[in-house]
Amino acid sequence: MPSSPDERVDRRLVRTFFVTQTLGYLALFTVMPVVLAPMASDLGVDRTQVAVASTLSTLVGAAAAFPMGRLLDRSGGRTTMTVGALIAACGVFGWASADSLGVLYASFLAIGLGQAMSTYDTAFAVIVATVGAQARQKAIVAVTMVAGIATYGLTPLFGWIEQSWDWRTAVATLGVALLCVVAPGHVWAVPGRSLHRERNTQRTGGGLRAVLRERDFWLVTFAFTAQTAATTALMSLLVTHLRDAGMTAMLAAWMPVVVGVSQVVSRLALQGSNAVLARVCVAAFVAQAAGMLLLSQVGAQAIWVVLCVSAAGVGSGIGVIARPVVLADTFGTLQFASVLAVLAVPVATARAFSPLIAAWLDDGRFLVLFGMLSLVAAAAMVPAARRSRTAG
């Protein structure tokens, strides 16, 4: 049976996001740790000063999230995501040519704006606005799963480019990808204003003001913010904590890979599933809490460490894909991009500052604090899990 025009549009969008979200995440998030050390050496500064650039970009993304959400609700995603990719490309080219911290920081201000306009949360809002209610969960799971696998798979390539040439070449290569692949991909596949407005008439729910008056929305917002803070803190200090606990540097360096594998496996388990994600979140956040709390006690025992970080990876893997689906299923899709943007602001802020709090606590206490925070996040998600309805 031939597919309808709407189904072809949906498939083209999702398949394009496989590529554009992978390249966007590589350029704007993942490559930074790969090139951080040689960047610091080249610029003659310490690594902390370089890492501040990522914090700046995250804060800019948080500040831009709500205006971008309002723009997406009014006009759709094609122009926003295309311009965002172009701004991000300019920022990445500035980063590749930076000869001082001032230029680096200015470049990351542009990168932060590009993140807000063209990466996951914007893509999720476009999927929810475009894809039917029955297919949106599968679409979001597919995009994050493919992008996650591809990102982990391609990251070593840019490490090889950095080793074979230099860090500037590795970064500039991703700038070219943003300019020549991501921006045109968004022009080609993301629905324009007319189709966006046509599908807008099919949305249900109370809209932004109604959602903001709901207690359950703020509980969900707290849950995802707390869970994101815990994930970010863990990933920022995982290798350092394990080395301090006595694990070899080589083995400790593999533990983030274990987290990544468990993220992918947890998403793969949901592919094709009709499970209510709010309920899945409760279990996943409890698993993350248990993993972090136990990790503070097991020292460098490899088997226990693998089990603990795998449990934590399940929580982080589910949390990313669940945010848009839980919001849409629980509160509806009217003015969805604005609703998602309200949640994105504290989530991004937590992502920016939780590593600093974790570093201040250090010596395993951060695992206890953020493990308990994950447990509270699971409890805060319970009311949404009980509602477990599809708002449309």
Residue 196 has pLDDT above 60, yes or no: yes
Instruction: State residue 134's pLDDT score.
Output: 74
Which residues lie below 8 Å from residue 136, measured CB to CB, with a gap of 6+?
127, 128, 324, 325, 328
Q: Look up residue 303 and give its amino acid.
A: I
How would residue 207 be classed by pLDDT, with cut points 50, 70 and 90? Answer: confident
Instruction: State residue 141's pLDDT score.
Output: 87
Instruction: State residue 201's pLDDT score.
Output: 62
Query: Phi, psi at residue 273, to the nearest 5°?
Result: -90, 150
Question: For residues 151 and 70, what is the distance between their CA atoms, to the nearest angstrom?
Answer: 29
Long-range contacts: 144-148, Cβ < 8 Å, 24+?
144/21, 144/120, 144/267, 144/320, 144/321, 145/264, 145/267, 145/268, 145/271, 146/18, 146/22, 147/17, 147/18, 147/21, 147/22, 147/25, 148/260, 148/263, 148/264, 148/267, 148/317
Average pLDDT over residues 175-190: 96
Q: Helix 133-164 and helix 31-43: axis angle, to 10°?
A: 30
- In tens, the pLDDT along 77-106 reads 999 999 999 999 999 999 999 999 999 999
Instruction: State residue 33's pLDDT score.
Output: 81
Instruction: State residue 391's pLDDT score.
Output: 42
How would residue 4 be classed by pLDDT, with cut points 50, 70 and 90? Answer: low
Q: Kindly state the percentage of the chain with pLDDT values over 70.
A: 95
Query: Phi, psi at residue 332, to the nearest 5°?
Result: 95, 180
- In tens, the pLDDT along 320-368 reads 889 999 998 899 888 899 999 999 999 999 988 888 888 888 678 899 9
Give the chain's mean pLDDT: 88
Residue 13 has pLDDT above 70, yes or no: yes
Average pLDDT over residues 117-128: 92
Instruction: State residue 390's pLDDT score.
Output: 43
- In tens, the pLDDT along 258-279 reads 888 898 888 888 876 778 889 9
How would residue 5 be classed by pLDDT, with cut points 50, 70 and 90? Answer: low
Q: Kindly state the percentage of the chain with pLDDT values over 90.
A: 54
Instruction: State residue 267's pLDDT score.
Output: 85
Residue 202 has pLDDT above 50, yes or no: yes
Could you write out the DSSP letters of every residue in 115-157? HHHHSHHHHHHHHHHHS-HHHHHHHHHHHHHHHHHHHHHHHHH
- In tens, the pLDDT along 228-263 reads 999 999 988 888 888 888 888 788 878 888 888 898
- In tens, the pLDDT along 301-321 reads 999 999 999 999 999 889 988
- In tens, the pLDDT along 358-373 reads 888 867 889 999 999 9
Instruction: State residue 256's pLDDT score.
Output: 84
Higher pLDDT, 176 or 390: 176
Q: 312, 259 in Cβ contact below 8 A?
A: yes
Instruction: State residue 6's pLDDT score.
Output: 62
How would residue 1 be classed by pLDDT, with cut points 50, 70 and 90? Answer: very low
Average pLDDT over residues 162-173: 91
Residue 205 has pLDDT above 70, yes or no: yes
Q: 342, 212 in Cβ contact below 8 A?
A: yes
CB atoms within 10 A of CB 134: 9
Domains, the chain: 5-200 (1.20.1250.20), 207-387 (1.20.1250.20)
| Low-confidence winner among 128-137, 162-171, 239-248, 255-264 (lowest mean pLDDT) | 128-137
- In tens, the pLDDT along 14-54 reads 999 999 999 999 999 888 888 888 898 999 998 888 888 98
Average pLDDT over residues 160-187: 94
Separation of CA 344 from chain center: 10
